[in-house]
Amino acid sequence: MKLDDIKAALLASYETDGGINHLDGINLPSQESVNEISRDCMHLLFPGYFEETKLEKKDVPKLVDTVLARIGNRLEVEIEKSLRFARDPEPKKRARLLAAETLGKLADLRKAIRTDVEAAYQGDPAALSYEEIIVAYPCVLAISLQRFAHVLYSMRIPLLPRMITEFAHERTGIDIHPGAQIGTHFFIDHGTGVVIGETATIGSHVKLYQGVTLGAKSFETDNQGNPVKGVKRHPDIADNVTIYAHATILGGDTRIGANSVVGGNVWLLESVPANSIAYFKADDLVIRPRQKKEALVGYVEDWVI
């Protein structure tokens, strides 16, 4: 086909195949601008780690001034677009206030994020330094940006929080919805393929391995068969839980009790009591009390892999 024919076909499809056009609509947040916000956020959270040249302590105030101004301007613009999309009556005024409020939480976010780095260092014998973890472990980017996006999500700002976590998802293969509530000292080892749903809650000192899914069991539907939004769909993970690779835990009423271990490739639709081990043995799910300091080492032959 000639270019003119291709152009004509595309223009015709815009008229006949609606639903994926956004013409004459509200200006949506810019993907590239959101990506820049995400990158700048990492510079503010981890000064000196992602600069191209050495950062002297005396130069930190100047760096913070520069990056804060840049991220503040972008954040205000993209929040305003998001609020206009939601038909907020005062998008410009509220965007300015919400952008300032969001950036004002960065110092507190660093306190939580520091515990995540500590958890990675303590939880991985291959980790030789905090520096290695921050510059090379995918969980740092994914968890840090999720915590930042969760602030925006909690303010009921549409579109923007999900776009930020999708930047991290694209970079790391770790998909954490901005709505998930996550405690301190959170570590995702290796990370690829981890999925954490919107209404999941995760306690403190929780460790996940690659391929873990905290997902929905099924969707409630209305009389027209459409999924009901805003209901609890994803599991709760209590403190001091370890979930091994490719385990799938589903359902809004499913809870993994404190100090428990879930084995690799386990499929769970039911709750696990505190201080328990869940694993497969001869194709059957076993949930039994966990002995003090016992993990699943020694039970590998029982897993379905």
At 120-155, the pLDDT tens digits run: 999 999 999 999 999 999 999 999 999 999 999 999
- CA angle 110/116/120 to nearest 5° reads 145
The pLDDT tens digits of the residues spanning 271-304 come to 999 999 999 887 788 989 988 766 654 444 343 3
Mean pLDDT of 216-223: 81
Mean pLDDT of 242-261: 97
**pLDDT, position 23:** 82
Mean pLDDT of 5-34: 89
| Mean pLDDT, all residues of the chain | 92
CATH 1.10.3130.10 domain extents, the chain: 25-170
Tally of CA atoms within 13 A in the half-sphere of 202 that contains its CB:
32
- CA angle 4/7/9 to nearest 5° reads 110
Measured CA to CA, the distance from residue 280 to residue 262 in angstroms comes to: 10
Tokens of 1: 């086909």
Residue type, 304: V
**pLDDT, position 221:** 77
Which is higher by pLDDT, 13 or 305?
13
Q: Quick one: CA torsion of 86, 87, 88, 94, rounded to 10 degrees?
A: 70
**pLDDT, position 19:** 78
**pLDDT, position 296:** 55
CATH architecture observed for domain 25-170: Orthogonal Bundle (1.10)
CATH 2.160.10.10 domain extents, the chain: 193-305
Contact 266, 242 (CB under 8 A): no
At 222, is the pLDDT very low, low, confident or very high (cuts 50, 70, 90)?
confident
The dihedral through the CA atoms of 68, 74, 76, 82 has a sign that is negative
Measured CA to CA, the distance from residue 221 to residue 209 in angstroms comes to: 32
**pLDDT, position 295:** 63
Q: Is residue 288 left, alpha or beta, with left meaning phi > 0 and alpha meaning psi from -120 to 50?
A: beta
- CA angle 202/207/208 to nearest 5° reads 90
Superfamily of 193-305 according to CATH: Hexapeptide repeat proteins (2.160.10.10)
Mean pLDDT of 246-270: 96
Is the pLDDT at 43 greater than 80? The verdict is: yes
DSSP letters spanning 241-277? -EE-TT-EEE-TT-EE-TT-EE-TT-EE-S-B-TTEE
Mean pLDDT of 103-110: 97
At 162, is the pLDDT very low, low, confident or very high (cuts 50, 70, 90)?
very high
Tokens of 257: 């009790």
Give me the sheet containing 242-243, strands edge to edge: 187-188, 207-208, 242-243, 261-262, 276-281, 284-289
The pLDDT tens digits of the residues spanning 55-101 come to 999 999 999 999 999 999 999 999 999 999 999 999 999 999 999 99
Measured CA to CA, the distance from residue 82 to residue 70 in angstroms comes to: 18
Percent of the chain with pLDDT over 70: 96
Mean pLDDT of 102-127: 97
Measured CA to CA, the distance from residue 74 to residue 72 in angstroms comes to: 6
Contact 237, 200 (CB under 8 A): yes
At 42, is the pLDDT very low, low, confident or very high (cuts 50, 70, 90)?
very high
Mean pLDDT of 156-166: 98
**pLDDT, position 305:** 31
